[in-house]
Amino acid sequence: MEDRRLRVVGIGGTLREGSSSLAALRRALSAAEKSGAETEILDLREIALPMYEPGRALDDYGPEVREFVEAMRRSDALIVSTAAYHGTLAGVTKNALDFAQFLARDDRPYLHERVVGLISTAGGEQAASNANRAMVDTVHALRGVVVPLMVAIPRAWQKTDDDGNVNDERYGARLDQLGGLVVDLAVPFAFPTERVPAKSAA
Ligand SMILES: Cc1cc2nc3c(=O)[nH]c(=O)nc-3n(C[C@H](O)[C@H](O)[C@H](O)COP(=O)(O)O)c2cc1C
């Protein structure tokens, strides 16, 4: 294995102060760290990305966009956490993921060979699952590998507090499991030891 740690980047939270999806993201990232990864959190409220604009060069955006794109580029794995808005993922999350367009011409284009864990929070019962499902389509379009366990947190106001903690341990445990799974599944992509040999012609 290379002499570095797996790098897991978390993208999330909404623009709401005390965001529950940010709290959930923190919890999952902390589990990833306990599993041996180094982590970075990209708090979308703090970063305040502008809207993605097709045709506009990366250099014509501010440093916050360049740093955001560079953090995605350096990642071995991602955890994306959104809130459900009007039945699907929040626009702030989708806009952030649209900046992966700047990775299109990389050696690992878009999110190629990156494992992606998904989390959604919602006020009601259903929309967090919808938001996760919508993010699966986006991650697949970006060539990422979705972790099969996705965490949907309904009635999130009952499960997180204003200090940014998840205070319902049933959901806390799922977020821990997700963080650990992201690391387990990302290691073979990030540190490939052996490629399966092609069958030799008889
Ligand atoms: C504009 C808007 C639209 C929302 N739409 C839904 C919805 O369709 N279904 C739902 O269950 N909750 C909906 N909610 C509630 C949020 O999903 C919920 O409060 C979530 O926990 C917010 O996450 P955050 O704390 O990270 O901002 C909506 C909230 C806002 C502000």
More confident residue, 139 or 195: 139
Which letter does DSSP use for residue 115 in this model?
Answer: E
CATH level 2 (architecture), domain 7-190:
3-Layer(aba) Sandwich (3.40)
Q: Please report the pLDDT score of residue 163 as a whole number.
A: 87
Quote the pTM value: 0.95
CA 146 to chain centre: 10
**Taking the domains of the chain in order of start, what are their residue ranges?**
7-190
CA of 58 to the centre of ligand 1 (A): 31
What average pLDDT does the chain have? 95
> pLDDT digits over 87-111, tens only?
999 999 999 999 999 999 999 999 9
d(CA 119, CA 7): 18
CA of 21 to the centre of ligand 1 (A): 10
> pLDDT digits over 133-181, tens only?
999 999 999 999 999 999 999 999 999 998 889 999 999 999 999 999 9
**Residue from 121, 167, 168 to probe ligand 1 pocket by mutation (most atoms less than 8 Å from CB):** 121
CA 124 to chain centre: 22
Q: 158 in ligand 1 pocket by Cβ < 6 Å?
A: no
